[in-house]
Structure 1
Amino acid sequence: MQKKRGRRVLKVVLWGLLAVVVLGVGGILVWSQVGVMPAEPEPLAEVRADAAIHIEDAPQGIVMTPADGDSDRGLVFVPGAKVDPWAYASILQGLVDDGTTVVITRPWLNLAFFDLRGLDQFTSAAPDIDDWAVGGHSLGGVRACRLAADAEALVLFGSYCADDLSTSGLAVLSISGSEDGLSTPAKVNAARHLLPADAEMVEIDGASHASFGDYGPQAGDGTPAISRTDMHARVDELLQGFFAELPTR
């Protein structure tokens, strides 16, 4: 009698645990799809209208290449949490115009934290390119730091590393914003020791967290004091200068 009662209790406990797991997984799936910040249509339309850029919606992500096919370097860029990958096409447009192939990833569940794919899963979109940098915005930047061991360079937009890359020898460009309410200047500075000593650290005056993409205001962020045009021009200047100094194979 006691054995039967014990088995019933065990079944109840096991079914209860299964229900908790199912509800937890279901909750994460629902949460990851709710509140995704879409790309603003006007900046994206400008990119699509750029005859110098070829855009492919590929399995590896959004692949932007110079239309003339003259590209010998690449950047894999990881979006911030719950941000439409297309929201970064415009701010990276100038880099492509200058000859760099850009692959903007689509993180699993819209969260880079859950995306465990290696860098080669994205660089396969342009197999002829040997020299790759990796970068990302916000949580995407944290993920990019994890992928940096397989890249030649690292680019951070309003982000910082959780991994120690201080002795990696990587070329690093970290761009932050003075008005960023999420990856605040204090947080960026607190993680500075995790980057190489010669990492290029640039704080853009007036830039907020959402200034690094075209997806509108973001909860918890500061108020930007820089226009989209000026922000894109400044980021483009920094990126082109950084990539121009990278050695090629």
Structure 2
Amino acid sequence: MPPRRPATAAPPRHRPAGRIRRRVRAIGLGALAALALVMVGFGIWAHTPYRADRAPVIDVWANGEVQVQYLDEGIVMSPAGDAAALDSSTGLVFVPGARVEAHAYMFQLSGVVEQHGVTVLITEPTLNLAFFDTRTLEQFTTAAPEVDRWFVGGHSLGGVRACLMTPGSDAAGLVLFGSYCAGDVSGSGLAVLSIAGENDALSTPAIIEQNAALLPVDARFVTIEGANHASFGDYGAQAGDGERTISSEQMRAELTALLGELLG
């Protein structure tokens, strides 16, 4: 019987280059489609903010002691009528919380304009998110050149952004509504007022206390009874928040008194 020839290995199979290119192209197109969906979803999310309640905004417009202007820097509320005679040279640049319409803070902040003559500028961040607005404090204060002493503040994420605006600026102080600093400003020498809501389930009083060491040792901490996270503006209920047991008018009175002590 003749010897059997050893079996030879089958030659390696090579995938055609065209097939590989098609697969790579399909993967790339799939990744781009997924990225596009994420971007569209983010855009829709960012462009559907918590809308301001209409009635409080109308109240501000009807208030003869408050002049409202819409400028490139933001919504400016300045003293008018008898309030103009208070002759305050103090201003507050205020940054809204994430996805909260700037108008939602007009009523709550108008009290310090009316009763203490303070000029208030509420910023209108890109995509309704404070971190997309990288302007400096000085780029906002151009809206009211007659004011020579400026404070900066914000609500929630807006407060975090306000903290980042203070280094290297001429800010006299910092105001936080249901917020805290993410960086250390303890050595800044700023006058700081931190206001918490008793029933705030988002920026809870406990979280604010945990981050207190990042603020100057003489920072003032106040908790408003019955207030939740959304009480600092007028935009309805906010997902994940606690129960609110304080009215909008009561909240405005509390904030006006506290801000007046710092700014007035």
Q: CA deviation at 1:189?
A: 0.8
Q: 1:242 — aligned with what?
A: 262
> Is residue 186 of structure 2 the alignment partner of residue 172 of structure 1?
no
Q: Say whether residues 1:51 and 2:64 are aligned partners.
A: yes
2:93 paired residue number: 76
User: Residue in 2 aligned with 1:159?
Assistant: 179
In structure 1, C-alpha distance between the alignment counterparts of 2:44 and 2:245, rounded to whole Å: 34
Q: Which secondary structure does the structure 1 equivalent of 2:60 belong to?
A: helix
Q: Please give the alpha-carbon distance, in whole angstroms, between the structure 1 residues aligned to 2:194 and 2:37.
A: 39
Q: 1:26: which partner in 2?
A: 40
**Residue 222 of structure 1, CA deviation:** 1.1
Name 1:125's counterpart in structure 2: 143
Distance (whole Å) between structure 1 residues aligned to residue 188 and residue 23 of structure 2: 54
Q: CA deviation at 1:3?
A: 5.6
Higher Cα Rg: structure 1 or 2?
Answer: 2
Structure-2 residue corresponding to 1:38: 51
Corresponding residue for residue 121 of structure 2: 103
Contact 1:79 1:112 in 2 (8 A): yes
User: Which one of 190, 204, 207 corresponds to residue 210 of structure 2?
Assistant: 190
| Correspondence for 1:87 | 104
Gap change, CA 1:17 and 1:211, over 3 Å in 2: same
Q: For residue 118 of structure 1, what is the amino acid of its counterpart?
A: T
Q: How many residues align?
A: 243
Q: How big is the shift at 1:95?
A: 1.2
| Superposed CA RMSD | 1.9
Q: Paired residue for 1:113, among 131, 140, 146?
A: 131
Residue identity (%):
51
Q: Is 1:64 matched with 2:81? A: no
Residue 157 of structure 1 and its aligned partner are, at CA, apart by 0.6
Unaligned runs of 5+ in 2: 1-14
Offset at 1:225? 2.1
Is the partner of 1:222 in helix, strand or coil?
coil
Q: Is contact 1:166-1:196 (8 Å) kept?
A: yes
- Equivalent residue, structure 1, for 2:158: 140
TM-score by length of 1: 0.90
Alpha-carbon distance in 1 for matches of 2:69, 2:253: 24
Q: Deviations over 1:17-68 (max 9, x none)?
A: 433333322221111123x222112222211111111101112111111123
Provide structure 1 residue ranges, at least 5 long, that are not aligned to the other structure: 245-249
Q: Distance in 2 between matches of 1:125 and 1:87?
A: 20
Farther-moved stretch of structure 1 (20-29 vs 89-98): 20-29
How far off is 1:242 after superposition?
Answer: 0.8
Offset of 1:118 from its aligned partner? Answer: 2.0
CA drift of 1:12 comes to 4.0
Aligned equivalents of 2:94 and 2:64: distance in 1?
A: 22
Query: Structure 1 residues 56 and 22, CA, compared in 2 at 3 Å: closer, same or farther?
Result: same
Q: What is the aligned partner in structure 2 of residue 199 from structure 1?
A: 219
TM-score by structure 2 length?
A: 0.85
CA offset at residue 240 of structure 1? 0.4
